[in-house]
């Protein structure tokens, strides 16, 4: 059944809510483990799309994960009977999936790491994304040597200073996604455009973005902040494409304080 794609990661003892974690391209959801450990007061689940063979399947799996345990009153209800708000935390490609879910009213709040509303951009928007030709080249490269493509992508994720500090060593190993899933993820990055939907996303949004990100440049975060009605942009100076890695305690504290401000006295289910 489709609901089996939901992976229960941790059950928190508090009642702040549930976080659905959506990882970035080629990444297993274990990349969030250290951050989740810093947030024990939340329940944690994830959508598993590492075997998806099409962009449509990725969208369906993420939507199923968000909706499978909604109760009749619209609140999130897990297997232990916990009711509360649902936050969706998406990184990069997962951020696009999170925006799509929020546009459908599936989220009570969003936490977006290194996200963009549209990944492929024209030359005059180079400060917001990558050219489509480069993504097509990655797809072609996957058919020849996926290891080379994944390794090069990971190299682009960090600044030289971050590599020198061994931050890249904290990433899970290559190879967790199937080759069809890698291709599907790149096709999704080529095709999805959330820009028209941003003004309709009414839930609060926390944007965490590195100022030195070369994959989803900081201009993409500024664009999101300007277009989303309830967005807060938290810049991470000098960080590349993984602004939460190595900063888990600080990011968790920021997330907690941001959500407390929005939840106290103002939470109501969005569906």
Q: What is the mean pLDDT of residues 6-13?
A: 42
Neighbouring residues of 96: CB distance < 8 A, sequence distance ≥ 6: 90, 115, 116, 117, 119, 188, 189, 192, 194
Res 265: pLDDT? 53
What tens digit of pLDDT does each residue of 213-270 get?
999 999 999 999 999 999 999 999 999 999 999 999 999 999 999 999 987 755 433 3
Q: What is the mean pLDDT of residues 21-38?
A: 97
87: enclosing H helix or E strand: strand 86-91
What tens digit of pLDDT does each residue of 137-151 get?
999 999 999 999 999
CA distance 34 to 221: 24
Q: Is the pLDDT of residue 171 over 90?
A: yes
What tens digit of pLDDT does each residue of 78-103 get?
555 555 899 999 999 999 999 999 99
Res 83: pLDDT? 56
Res 156: pLDDT? 97
- 10 Å CB burial of residue 18 (0-12, 13-18, 19+) is buried
């Amino acid at each position: 059944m489709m609901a089996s794609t939901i992976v229960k990661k941790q059950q928190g003892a508090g009642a702040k809510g549930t976080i659905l974690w959506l990882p970035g391209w080629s990444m297993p959801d274990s990349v969030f483990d250290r951050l989740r450990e810093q947030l024990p007061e939340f329940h944690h689940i994830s959508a598993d799309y590492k075997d998806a063979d099409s962009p449509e399947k990725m969208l369906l799996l993420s939507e199923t994960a968000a909706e499978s345990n909604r109760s009749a009153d619209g609140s999130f209800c897990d297997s232990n009977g916990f009711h509360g708000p649902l936050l969706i935390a998406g990184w990069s490609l997962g951020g696009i999936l999170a925006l799509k879910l929020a546009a459908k009213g599936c989220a009570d709040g969003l936490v977006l790491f290194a996200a963009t509303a549209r990944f492929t951009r024209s030359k005059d928007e180079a400060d917001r994304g990558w050219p489509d030709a480069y993504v097509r080249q990655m797809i072609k490269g996957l058919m020849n040597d996926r290891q080379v493509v994944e390794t090069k992508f990971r190299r682009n994720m960090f600044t030289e200073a971050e590599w020198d500090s061994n931050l890249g060593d904290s990433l899970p190993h290559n190879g967790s996604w199937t080759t069809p899933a890698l291709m599907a993820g790149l096709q999704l990055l080529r095709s999805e455009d959330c820009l028209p939907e941003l003004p309709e996303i009414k839930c609060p949004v926390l944007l965490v973005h590195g100022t030195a990100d070369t994959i989803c440049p900081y201009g993409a975060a500024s664009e999101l902040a300007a277009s989303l009605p309830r967005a807060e942009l938290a810049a991470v100076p000098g960080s590349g494409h993984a602004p939460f890695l190595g900063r888990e305690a600080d990011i968790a504290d920021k997330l907690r304080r941001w959500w407390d401000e929005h939840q106290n006295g103002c939470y109501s289910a969005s569906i």
